[in-house]
C-alpha cells in the first residue's frame, strides 16, 4: 500500500516517465528498471556512499517501524520477506493489508515530520 505522499510523487513523475512501466527507468533501456549501480552512484554524489547503501533503506524502515510498535508480521509482509517457518507459511496467507496501509501512512507522515524538523533546525 502506498501513502498519499507516495501517490503524489508518482502522479508528479508520470509526465516525466511517460509510458514507461517504471517510475525510475534504466537510463539506457526504458523497458528496464534503474540499476542498483545508479542508486549507489546517486548516494556517492550526495557524499553518503560510505554511510548508507540501497539496502540500508529497507534496514532503516524495518528498524524504525519496529521501534514505532508495528507487528513484525506486517513489517515483514511490507518488505516482501517470506515466512521462514514452513508450517506457518503453508497455513497463513494473510496479507495484513489494512495494518500495512496504516503503517506506511504513519511512516510517510513521520518522514515528513523529520524533514520539517530538520528544515526548521537549519534556519
> pTM of the entire structure?
0.81
User: Distance from first CA to last CA of the chain, Å, rounded?
Assistant: 34
> What confidence score (pLDDT) does residue 19 get?
80
Q: State the pLDDT confidence band at 121, using cuts at 50, 70 and 90.
A: confident
Domain map (residue ranges) of the chain: 12-52, 53-123
Cell numbers at 6, concatenated: 507516495
Per residue in 27-40, pLDDT (tens digit) is 898 889 998 899 89
Please give the C-alpha separations between residue 98 and each of 4, 53, 76, 95, in angstroms, as whole numbers.
15, 30, 14, 9
**What does the pLDDT look like over 58-106, one tens digit per residue?**
999 999 999 999 999 999 999 999 999 999 999 999 999 999 999 999 9
Q: Is the pLDDT of residue 123 over 70?
A: no
Amino acid at each position: 500500500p502506498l501513502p498519499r505522499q507516495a501517490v503524489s510523487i508518482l502522479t508528479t513523475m508520470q509526465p516525466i516517465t511517460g509510458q514507461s512501466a517504471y517510475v525510475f527507468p534504466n537510463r539506457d533501456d526504458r523497458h528496464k528498471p534503474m540499476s542498483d549501480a545508479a542508486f549507489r552512484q546517486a548516494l556517492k554524489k550526495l557524499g553518503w556512499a560510505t554511510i548508507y547503501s540501497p539496502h540500508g533503506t529497507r534496514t532503516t524502515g524495518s528498524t524504525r517501524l519496529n521501534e514505532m510498535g508495528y507487528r513484525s508480521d506486517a513489517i515483514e509482509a511490507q518488505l516482501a520477506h517470506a515466512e521462514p517457518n514452513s508450517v506457518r507459511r503453508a497455513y497463513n496467507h494473510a496479507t495484513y493489508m489494512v495494518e500495512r496501509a496504516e503503517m506506511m501512512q504513519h511512516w510517510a507522515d513521520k518522514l515528513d515530520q523529520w524533514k520539517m524538523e530538520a528544515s526548521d533546525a537549519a534556519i
